[in-house]
């Protein structure tokens, strides 16, 4: 038997007793070394991952009950707490497990959304989407009323008729704003600011241009979506994962050659992008409106007549 034991003594872990408090910094510090944070940051990027976990903490504060402790499945939102409090170590452990489960679920959904969008891209490449549009077209009269002709006054030069390209832009704006209550000037401004007629991809290679337009169209949208206990029952619990998938779609389209202007292939690409935006749910609200904007911009850049999908086709393309 050795006279001296050279191995360092390690005290066994003893779970703390009594109530435990965790503030935002402690939560992030605790989560960062965990495998789920590493995997999630690899999937969406380090900064978006940090934002997502911060949002998860903010949402968890809403589950603080009147007794001063966090409760799973509640939305008590009592007071204005700055930290989470758990009755004991078991409550803290349960909370951490629930958070990890939500992020595991979002990783799965990222893969599913990407797979669906990739399949939609394949259909567009095989010219399978335009036949669906022809069968599921929104009647123009349901969203656009042509302006009444202006009577020509004697001795006054006739007003030249508007070009079809100008009318298509008016039709696109009317469809974009259909159902919008109140001031719709922001929609017109973002359309005019982004429209191109040169046959190029009109949205750049990142999510930033579309996101800026979305913020102007839906200024009251919540800062984030998901990260609460009810998110597990939703099809699209988080917009962070969706933003990653949609960003990849935009990057891919921006580096792909666009069809010749006037080609029916513009409808295929526009429908693919329309469905991708609805599917990914990259925005906290107004995803269908953002999808309409992108669709209109694609058709105007491609120089093809404004033919738009009805709601049934939109739901089908968007995997709703």
Report d(CA 289, CA 245) in Å as an integer: 18
d(CA 125, CA 297): 19
Mean pLDDT of the region 258-282: 97
Q: Is the pLDDT of residue 235 over 80?
A: no
Task: Report the distance separating Cα 270 and Cα 301, nearest Å.
Answer: 10
pLDDT band at 291 (very low <50, low <70, confident <90, very high): very high
Q: Residue 64 and residue 22: Cα distance in Å, rounded?
A: 12
Ranking 2-11, 173-182, 224-233, 246-255 by mean pLDDT, the lowest is 2-11
Q: How confident is the model at residue 15 (pLDDT cuts 50, 70, 90)?
A: low
Q: Does 200 have pLDDT greater than 80?
A: yes
E strand or H helix at 160: none
pLDDT bin (cut points 50, 70, 90) of residue 226 is: confident
Given the candidates 1.10.10.60, 3.40.30.10, 3.40.50.150, 1.10.3290.10, the CATH classification of the domain at 111-144+163-317 is 1.10.3290.10
Structural domain spans, the chain: 20-109, 111-144+163-317
Q: pTM for the full model?
A: 0.89
Mean pLDDT over each residue of the chain, to the nearest integer: 90
Q: How far apart are CA 241 and CA 244, in angstroms?
A: 5
83, 21 Cβ separation under 8 angstroms: yes
Whether 114 contacts 277, CB under 8 Å: no
pLDDT score recorded for residue 18: 84
The string of pLDDT tens digits covering residues 73-110 is: 777 667 789 999 999 999 999 999 999 999 999 999 99
The predicted structure's pLDDT at residue 60: 92
> What confidence score (pLDDT) does residue 311 get?
94
Query: Which residue's structure tokens are 């302006």?
Result: 147
Segment 19-73, tens digit of pLDDT: 999 999 999 999 999 999 999 999 999 999 999 999 999 999 988 988 999 988 7
Q: What is the mean pLDDT of residues 286-307?
A: 97
Q: Average of pLDDT values for 183-210? A: 96
Judged by phi (left if over 0) then psi (alpha if -120 to 50, else beta), residue 161 lies in: beta
pLDDT tens figures, 252-266: 999 999 999 999 999
Q: What is the mean pLDDT of residues 215-236?
A: 78
Estimate the crossing angle of helix 287-302 against helix 164-177, to 10 degrees. 170
Q: How far apart are CA 298 and CA 201, in angstroms?
A: 7
User: Crossing angle for the helix pair 287-302 and 265-280, nearest 10 degrees?
Assistant: 160
Please say if the pLDDT value at position 315 is more than 80.
Answer: yes
Residue 11 has pLDDT above 80, yes or no: no
**Is residue 67 classed as helix, strand or coil in its secondary structure?**
coil
Asked whether residue 6 carries a pLDDT value surpassing 80, the answer given is no
* 243 has a pLDDT exceeding 90: yes
**262-to-174, 179, 199, 259, 300 alpha-carbon distances in Å:** 22, 29, 9, 8, 10
pLDDT exceeds cutoff 80 at 276: yes
Question: Average pLDDT for residues 190-209, to the nearest whole number?
Answer: 96
Q: Give the pLDDT of residue 155.
A: 72
């Amino acid at each position: 038997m050795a006279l001296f034991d050279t191995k360092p003594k390690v005290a066994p872990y003893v779970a703390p007793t009594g109530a435990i408090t965790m503030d935002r910094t402690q939560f992030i510090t605790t989560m960062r070394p965990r495998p789920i944070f590493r995997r999630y940051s690899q999937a969406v990027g380090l900064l978006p991952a940090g934002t997502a976990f911060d949002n998860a903490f903010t949402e968890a504060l809403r589950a603080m009950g009147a007794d001063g402790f966090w409760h799973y499945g509640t939305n008590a939102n009592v007071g204005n707490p700055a930290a989470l409090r758990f009755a004991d170590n078991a409550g803290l452990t349960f909370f951490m497990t629930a958070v990890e489960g939500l992020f595991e679920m979002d990783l799965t959904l990222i893969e599913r959304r990407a797979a669906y969008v990739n399949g939609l891209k394949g259909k567009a490449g095989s010219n399978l989407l335009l036949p669906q549009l022809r069968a599921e077209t929104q009647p123009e009269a349901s969203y656009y009323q042509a302006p009444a002709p202006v009577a020509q006054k004697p001795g006054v030069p006739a007003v030249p008729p508007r070009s079809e390209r100008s009318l298509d832009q008016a039709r696109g704006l009317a469809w974009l704003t259909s159902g919008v209550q109140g001031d719709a000037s922001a929609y017109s401004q973002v359309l005019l600011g982004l429209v191109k007629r040169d046959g190029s991809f009109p949205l750049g290679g990142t999510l930033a241009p579309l996101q800026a337009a979305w913020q102007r169209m839906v200024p009251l949208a919540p800062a984030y979506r998901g990260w609460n206990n009810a998110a597990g029952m939703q099809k699209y619990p988080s917009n962070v994962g969706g933003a990653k998938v949609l960003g990849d779609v935009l990057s891919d389209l921006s580096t792909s050659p666009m069809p010749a202007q006037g080609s029916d292939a513009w409808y295929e690409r526009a429908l693919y992008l329309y469905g991708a935006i609805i599917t990914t749910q990259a925005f906290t609200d107004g995803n269908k409106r953002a999808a309409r904007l992108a669709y209109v911009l694609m058709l105007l850049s491609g120089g093809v007549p404004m033919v738009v999908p009805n709601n049934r086709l939109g739901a089908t393309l968007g995997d709703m």
